[in-house]
Amino acid sequence: MISDIHSNRHALEAVLGAVDAAEVDELWCLGDMVGYGAEPDACTALIRERSAVCLVGNHDLAVLGALDISTFSEAAAAAVEWTRENVGEATLEFLASLEPVASKSGIGLFHASPRDPVWEYVLSADQAEAGFEAQEERLGLIGHSHIALFFCRTPGVRGYAQGAQATDGTEIEIGEGDWLLNPGSVGQPRDGDPRAAWLELDTEAWTARYHRVEYEIEGAAAAIRAAGLPDLLAERLEVGR
């Protein structure tokens, strides 16, 4: 499970290598293939080729012109405008074919949250509780916040959602209760760990294991600078913020 690639080819290739090494059966992507980074076509082509399920994210929708970017940060808006001018037609066609929500193997997939699959950040127990009430499935997978974390609720007990941030190697048993899992970001982590993030989900043993992968941050940052994108977008990769 991956999310929030944001046109960072270096990070995506490193994660795909780790996914292959783990012999994962299927790759699911929760959206935001483009935005922030400098290689939207390369990243989208890889996702189109490798992913069994893919959602559209808010940055993808913004590049398509389906969202107003007036609420985006200055750097994010600049990246959207740059991507619109430099992205290929095949990328746009692929993004336009996607939805922000899906269901796979009895699991809900949402770019942002079950309550608002495009915009809502799920970062608190209250937000998670609202998500549990909104989703039909017991297990939901969410992206958008760029932070690897999880929330759970005891079976049959409302109002008691609990959560925690996940670090590299965190493994949880998810066979009982309600769950919302966020794999973190491939291309722009914001949890203080600059390594690319992904989540390994075992639907037979019902376990989830969080992974971080080293990648060539310098190469990704250089591509951003060479494209003339805001330098902030390169700098933040080094610190994971």
Residue 3: inside a domain = no
> Is the whole-model pTM more than 0.75?
yes
What single letter denotes the amino acid at residue 131?
G
Residue 202: inside a domain = yes
Residue 4: inside a domain = no
Cα separations (Å) of 95 from 17, 33, 52, 112? 24, 9, 15, 16
Q: Which residues pair with 209 in a beta bridge?
A: 171, 200
At 159 the pLDDT is 64
Residue 76: inside a domain = yes
Residue 141: inside a domain = yes
At 160 the pLDDT is 78
Task: For residue range 2-47, list pLDDT tens digits in order.
Answer: 999 999 999 999 999 999 999 999 999 999 999 999 999 999 999 9
Q: Is the pLDDT of residue 174 over 90?
A: yes
Residue 177: inside a domain = yes
At 155 the pLDDT is 73
Task: For residue range 50-109, list pLDDT tens digits in order.
Answer: 999 999 999 999 999 999 999 999 999 999 999 999 999 999 999 999 999 999 989 999
What CATH number does residue 81 fall under?
3.60.21.10
CB atoms within 10 A of CB 209: 16
Q: Is the pLDDT of residue 156 over 90?
A: no
Residue 26: inside a domain = yes
Residue 1: inside a domain = no
Query: Could you give the number of structural domains in the chain?
Result: 1
Separation of alpha carbons 131 and 158, rounded Å: 12
Separation of alpha carbons 73 and 203, rounded Å: 38
Separation of alpha carbons 122 and 112, rounded Å: 7
Domain region containing 19: 9-239
Residue 156, Ramachandran bin (φ over 0: left; ψ between -120 and 50: alpha; else beta): left
Give percent of the chain with pLDDT exceeding 70.
Answer: 98
Task: Answer yes or no: are the C-beta atoms of 218 and 205 closer than 8 Å.
Answer: no
Helix/strand/coil (H, E, C) string of the chain?
Answer: CECCCCCCHHHHHHHHHHHHHCCCCCCEECCCCCCCCCCHHHHHHHHHHHCCEECCCHHHHHHCCCCCHHHCCHHHHHHHHHHHHHCCHHHHHHHHCCCCEEEECCEEEECCCCCCCCCCCCCCHHHHHHHHHHCCCCEEEECCCCCEEEEEECCCCCCCCEEEECCCCCEEECCCCEEEEEECCCCCCCCCCCCEEEEEEECCCCEEEEEEECCCHHHHHHHHHHCCCCHHHHHHHHHCC
